[in-house]
C-alpha cells in the first residue's frame, strides 16, 4: 500500500467551491417535487429492507418501477422512472452474466451489484423524509421528477451520473469491506465485464429514450454516438475504481473520509447540473471537469 498525504483544508475548500458552483448552475431551476407523493409510503415500504442478493435487487427495482409509473406528471412519464427502467435492464443483464463463462468470481460481482443497488434504494427512501436527505447527486434528478421540459434521455443520464459518479466508488468500498480488497486480482475483469454489458445495451436504450430529433441526429452520425458513449462508460467506471481506492486508503480516518465523500458528492451534483445544458460540447466539458474535480480529493502519492 502506498503512503499518502491528505490535504484536508484543500478538500474542505474544494467542497465549498463545488457547492457554490452548483448553486450557480441550478439557479434557474425551481424544485418541483420534494417527495414521492401521492405514493410516498408505498415507496418507503418498497425500499425499506435492503436486498441480500441480485434477485432481491431485481424484485425491488420492479416494485419501484410500478410505483414510479403511477406518479406525476402522468402515468409512465415520471423522470425518475426513466432511469429506473435503464437500471433494471442493466441489472438483469448482470444477473445473467453471473452464470456465464466470462465471470471469474460470481460472488464478488453479485455482492458489488447488491451494495450498488442499496445506495440507490437508500437515496429513494430518504427523499421527502425529514433529516434523511439523499446525496446531492441524486437530488439533482429527484427534484426534477415531474419536469416534462427535461427529456427522458436527460433524466436517465442524470441517474447514471449519480449512480456511477457518486455511488459506484462507495459500493466498491462496501464490497471490499465484506470480501476483502482485491487490488488487481481476478475480480477486476469481472468489474470490466459490466462495461461490456453497457456497450451492448446503451445503443438500444438510447434509441428507446430518444426524441424524434435525437433519432434523426443519431442516424446522421452513425456509430459515432455509440463509440463516444463507450468511451464515457469506460472512463467514468475506471475513475470510480480509482476513486474507491482513494476512499479505501482513508477508511480508518472518519473525518478525512467524510470530507472526501462530500467532495465526491458535490462534484457529481455539479456534473449533473452541467449535463442539463444539453450540448455535446458541455457534456465533453462535464467529463473533463468531473475528472479534475475528483483529482481535488485524490491523495498525493509518493
299 pLDDT tier (thresholds 50, 70, 90)? very low
Angle at 285 between CA 294 and CA 115, to 5 degrees: 40
Q: Higher confidence at residue 198 or residue 121? A: 121
- Is residue 9 scored above 50 in pLDDT? yes
What local confidence, expressed as pLDDT, does residue 225 receive? Answer: 52
Lowest-pLDDT choice from 165-179, 202-216, 265-279: 202-216
Q: Mean pLDDT across the stretch 176-200?
A: 84
Q: Mean pLDDT across the stretch 79-103?
A: 93
Cα–Cα distance, 248 to 177 (Å, whole number): 9
**Average pLDDT over the chain, rounded to an integer:** 80
pTM (2 d.p.): 0.82
Query: Which are the contacts of 270, defined by CB distance < 8 A and separation ≥ 6?
Result: 18, 21, 22, 25, 289, 293
Cα–Cα distance, 249 to 173 (Å, whole number): 10
- Is residue 153 scored above 70 in pLDDT? yes
Q: What is the DSSP letter of 51?
A: P
- Looking at the chain, the number of H-run helices and the number of E-run strands are 13, 2
State which of 59-73, 170-184, 204-218, 220-234 shows the largest mean pLDDT.
59-73
What is the three-state SS of 201-224?
HHHHHHHHHCCHHHHHHHHHHCCH
Lowest-pLDDT choice from 129-143, 147-161, 202-216, 284-298: 284-298
Q: Mean pLDDT across the stretch 30-37?
A: 78
Q: Which string of DSSP letters, residue by residue, matches 54-91?
A: HHHHHHHHHHHHHHHTTSTTSTT--HHHHHHHHHHHHH
Lowest-pLDDT choice from 13-27, 101-115, 132-146, 260-274: 13-27
- Is residue 165 scored above 60 in pLDDT? yes
What local confidence, expressed as pLDDT, does residue 31 receive? Answer: 53
Element of type H or E holding 300:
strand 300-301
Neighbours of 32 (CB within 10 A): 13
CA-CA distances (angstroms) from residue 196 to 3, 44, 87, 189, 242? 34, 33, 15, 11, 19
CA dihedral 125, 126, 130, 131 (to 10 degrees): 140
Q: Which string of DSSP letters, residue by residue, matches 100-139?
A: STT-S-HHHHHHHHHHHHHHHHHHHHHTT-TT-PPPHHHH
Cα–Cα distance, 86 to 109 (Å, whole number): 19
- Is residue 134 scored above 50 in pLDDT? yes
Cα–Cα distance, 295 to 112 (Å, whole number): 24
Q: Mean pLDDT across the stretch 221-229?
A: 49
Rounded (to 5) percent helix, strand, coil in the chain: 70, 0, 30
Amino acid at each position: 500500500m502506498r503512503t499518502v498525504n491528505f490535504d484536508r483544508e484543500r478538500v474542505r475548500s474544494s467542497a465549498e467551491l463545488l457547492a457554490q458552483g452548483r448553486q450557480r448552475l441550478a439557479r434557474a431551476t425551481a424544485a418541483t417535487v420534494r417527495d414521492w407523493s401521492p405514493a410516498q409510503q408505498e415507496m418507503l415500504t418498497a425500499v425499506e429492507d435492503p436486498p441480500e442478493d441480485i434477485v432481491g435487487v431485481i424484485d425491488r427495482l420492479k416494485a419501484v418501477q410500478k410505483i414510479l409509473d403511477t406518479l406525476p406528471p402522468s402515468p409512465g412519464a415520471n423522470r425518475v422512472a426513466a432511469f429506473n427502467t435503464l437500471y433494471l435492464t442493466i441489472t438483469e443483464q448482470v444477473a445473467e452474466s453471473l452464470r456465464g463463462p466470462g465471470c471469474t468470481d460470481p460472488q464478488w460481482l453479485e455482492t458489488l451489484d447488491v451494495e450498488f443497488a442499496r445506495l440507490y434504494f437508500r437515496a429513494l427512501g430518504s427523499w421527502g423524509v425529514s433529516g434523511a436527505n439523499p446525496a446531492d447527486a441524486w437530488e439533482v434528478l429527484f427534484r426534477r421528477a415531474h419536469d416534462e421540459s427535461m427529456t427522458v434521455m436527460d433524466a436517465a443520464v442524470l441517474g447514471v451520473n449519480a449512480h456511477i459518479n457518486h455511488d459506484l466508488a462507495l459500493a466498491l468500498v462496501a464490497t471490499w469491506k465484506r470480501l476483502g480488497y482485491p487490488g488487481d486480482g481476478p475480480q477486476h475483469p469481472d468489474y470490466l465485464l459490466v462495461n461490456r454489458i453497457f456497450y451492448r445495451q446503451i445503443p438500444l436504450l438510447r434509441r428507446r429514450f430518444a426524441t424524434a430529433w435525437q433519432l434523426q441526429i443519431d442516424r446522421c452520425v452513425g456509430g459515432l454516438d455509440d463509440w463516444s458513449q463507450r468511451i464515457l462508460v469506460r472512463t467514468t467506471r475506471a475513475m470510480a475504481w480509482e476513486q474507491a481506492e482513494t476512499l479505501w486508503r482513508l477508511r480508518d480516518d472518519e473525518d478525512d473520509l467524510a470530507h472526501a465523500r462530500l467532495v465526491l458528492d458535490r462534484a457529481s451534483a455539479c456534473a449533473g447540473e452541467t449535463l442539463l445544458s444539453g450540448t455535446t460540447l458541455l457534456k465533453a466539458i462535464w467529463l473533463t471537469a468531473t475528472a479534475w474535480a475528483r483529482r481535488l480529493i485524490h491523495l498525493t502519492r509518493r
